[in-house]
Amino acid sequence: MGLTAAGVLARPLYALAAIDPDLVVYNAKVYTIDSGQPRAEAFAIANSRFVAIGTSADMRALIGKRTRTFDARGMTIVPGFTDTHNHAGGTTLLYEVLVGNPFEVEFVTIQSIIDKLKNKARGLPLGTWVEGYFHDDTKLKDQRPLNVRDLDQVSTEHPVVVQHRGGHTSFYNSRAFALANVTRATPNPPGGTFDKDANGELNGRVTDLARGAFSRVGTRPSFSPDQQARRERDGIAHISKQFVRYGLTSVHHEGGDLAAIQDVRARGELLHRVSYEASGPMLEHMIASGIETGFGDEWIKFGATSEHTLDGSFSERTMALSFAYPGRNGYKGNVTEAQEACNAWVERVHRAGIQVNCHANGDVAIDEYLTAFERAQKLFPRADARPKITHCTLINDDLVRRIKAAGAVPALFSTYAYYNTDKFPFYGEEFMKHAMAYRTLLDAGVPCTAGSDFSPGPFAPLMGIQGMVTRTGWDNTTWGANQRITVDEALKVNTLNGAYASHEESSKGSISVGKLADFVVLADDPHTVDASKIKDIQVVQTVVGGATAYQA
């Protein structure tokens, strides 16, 4: 940082006076997401960080003997993308039966689901669970829901379950119901349902907490500790490759095997940065040991907690609403934790110096969370706590005011506006005007972020950006167009705001001198392509800390 001839402090364009950069990138259309210098043509990287940003001529002048160079030939470069809510289930992708497409919109037949599971059942001893993953009830060519009779065709000797990719509903066969002792007469437990057909018979669909009835019955595959460790490592390495393929350089992981993540890193196979969100015993250990949010380094760091679930799901229509779902006999969704329990959890975690994070979709659940946080903050004030609201789907004016006052950071669904438009008719346009409310929240000064919730949503950031900009889905329907944001805003939501959500905005999230050199090279500019083609822009290269993590 130096003084100009006039004695005015110049922009800190160069971090070091006499650098011999590791890499100089030039001839690019750089969108920095740094308000101090939004556009550039080139930058230089040393020791994993951006050290200079400017014109191609200025940056080329820095090239030294050992400097690698990259001529971007006019391509677009943006900061690496951040996904602030991801279940990162690599082992599922690698080892399980996938009955739907994890990454893209694809319609399948019920017969294909039956065939895949039948095939799986053939290799399993009787009584062992046959499981299918990534089911999406509105991506069926059959135009009717999967039911218990379909799954009875898979096997009558094995319990069979098909997990909805949304994670809040499952579909079982008759054998599974028999093992769990669930009949048409079994009452719904609090926070869940055993769904029935028109004749009052179990139809196979079971929602939220009612699925607990199946957790202790049947046999599940078991693995030795060594096998399990290998599966977890393979899973992390696999999903890391998928993340960088789509331009993600930072991902907030909902739990997962922390040892495996560290092992994969030690082998040099961790390609993206992890904000690790703990739950259960690990969160208890953090509290007991005094490990706070921010502990770790720039590759693996403890972030907020894992989502602490307060209500049901958006995609599966079980979120807790202050009004009845259309055509559902007064059903208002599932509240999965009462206010008092939520108060106690938030208070304990907040006191321990750990960033709280609750899953709250419906307005009722968001209100419950804010009530708990406001209470905890009054009892134990902590500056800049940034309570994270995972999903924060349905808002109203009062909630927005309280979100802003709490300094909360919402992780809104990112890819749903494109991927899940087939679910929006269940809610209707009036609802969608107030759902995934990027426009309203940004206008209120709330730094909302993009949380794919993978597996429920695909994690492709460009699919997310297209949906934020257009609010138009794969089926060409548009919902809540009042919530559209600009390409620049969507880029910021997917980069700098994501870094802010984990208190890392000073070290990443924009192409700024001193920050980690995480960026993505795009074949086209999302500002100039047809907005309905943003998701199709090719990710040419993903660079993390100055090193190429993905090359098309």
Query: Least CB distance from residue 102 to Zn ion, whole Å?
Result: 15
Query: Least CB distance from residue 191 to Zn ion, whole Å?
Result: 16
Query: Least CB distance from residue 11 to Zn ion, whole Å?
Result: 40
- Cα distances (angstroms) measured from residue 244 to each of 250, 258, 357, 453: 9, 19, 25, 17
Q: x/- contact string, 396-435, with Zn ion (CB under 5 A)? A: ----------------------------------------
Query: Least CB distance from residue 306 to Zn ion, whole Å?
Result: 8
Site membership for Zn ion, residue 505 (CB under 5 A): no
Tokens of 510: 């924009």
Query: Least CB distance from residue 391 to Zn ion, whole Å?
Result: 7
- Indicate the residue among 79 and 235 with the shorter CB distance to Zn ion: 235
- Indicate the residue among 34 and 453 with the shorter CB distance to Zn ion: 453
**What count of other Cβ atoms lies within 10 Å of the Cβ of residue 101?**
15
Query: Least CB distance from residue 374 to Zn ion, whole Å?
Result: 23
Check residue 424 and report its DSSP letter.
Answer: G
Query: Least CB distance from residue 359 to Zn ion, whole Å?
Result: 6
Q: Report whether 429 contacts 479 (CB < 8 A).
A: yes
Tokens 């055509």 -> residue: 327
CA distance 353 to 382: 8
- Indicate the residue among 263 and 453 with the shorter CB distance to Zn ion: 453
> 455 preceded by cis ω (within 30°)?
yes
Query: Least CB distance from residue 302 to Zn ion, whole Å?
Result: 18
Nearest CA-CA partner of 167 in 507, 403, 457: 457
Nearest CA-CA partner of 296 in 321, 328, 330, 270: 270
Residues 301-360 that bind Zn ion (CB under 5 A): none
C-alpha dihedral sign at 58, 64, 67, 72: positive
Q: Find all residues with CB under 8 Å of 424, minimum gap 6, and list them.
A: 432, 473, 477, 479
Nearest CA-CA partner of 80 in 541, 391, 532, 551: 541
- Indicate the residue among 311 and 367 with the shorter CB distance to Zn ion: 311
- Indicate the residue among 150 and 368 with the shorter CB distance to Zn ion: 368
Nearest CA-CA partner of 121 in 156, 80, 172, 171: 156
Nearest CA-CA partner of 253 in 70, 452, 539: 452
Query: Least CB distance from residue 248 to Zn ion, whole Å?
Result: 16
C-alpha dihedral sign at 468, 469, 471, 475: negative
- Indicate the residue among 277 and 422 with the shorter CB distance to Zn ion: 277
Strand partners, 454: 86
Q: To which H or E segment does residue 375 belong?
A: helix 363-379
Query: Least CB distance from residue 86 to Zn ion, whole Å?
Result: 8
- Indicate the residue among 121 and 463 with the shorter CB distance to Zn ion: 463
C-alpha dihedral sign at 67, 71, 74, 79: negative
- Indicate the residue among 51 and 88 with the shorter CB distance to Zn ion: 88
Q: Report whether 478 contacts 432 (CB < 8 A).
A: no
- Cα distances (angstroms) measured from residue 45 to each of 69, 70, 74, 250, 274: 10, 11, 19, 19, 22
- Indicate the residue among 79 and 461 with the shorter CB distance to Zn ion: 461
- Indicate the residue among 83 and 150 with the shorter CB distance to Zn ion: 83
Q: x/- contact string, 434-463, with Zn ion (CB under 5 A)? A: -------------------x----------
- Indicate the residue among 308 and 439 with the shorter CB distance to Zn ion: 308
Query: Least CB distance from residue 289 to Zn ion, whole Å?
Result: 26
Q: Report whether 38 contacts 48 (CB < 8 A).
A: no
Residue number with the shortest CB distance to Zn ion?
453
Tokens of 50: 């951006």
Angle between helices 397-406 and 363-379 in degrees, nearest 10: 30
CA distance 168 to 372: 24
Number of residues that bind Zn ion (CB under 5 A): 1
Query: Least CB distance from residue 313 to Zn ion, whole Å?
Result: 9
- Indicate the residue among 337 and 453 with the shorter CB distance to Zn ion: 453
Query: Least CB distance from residue 85 to Zn ion, whole Å?
Result: 6
- Indicate the residue among 151 and 310 with the shorter CB distance to Zn ion: 310
- Write out the residues near Zn ion by the rule CB under 5 A: 453
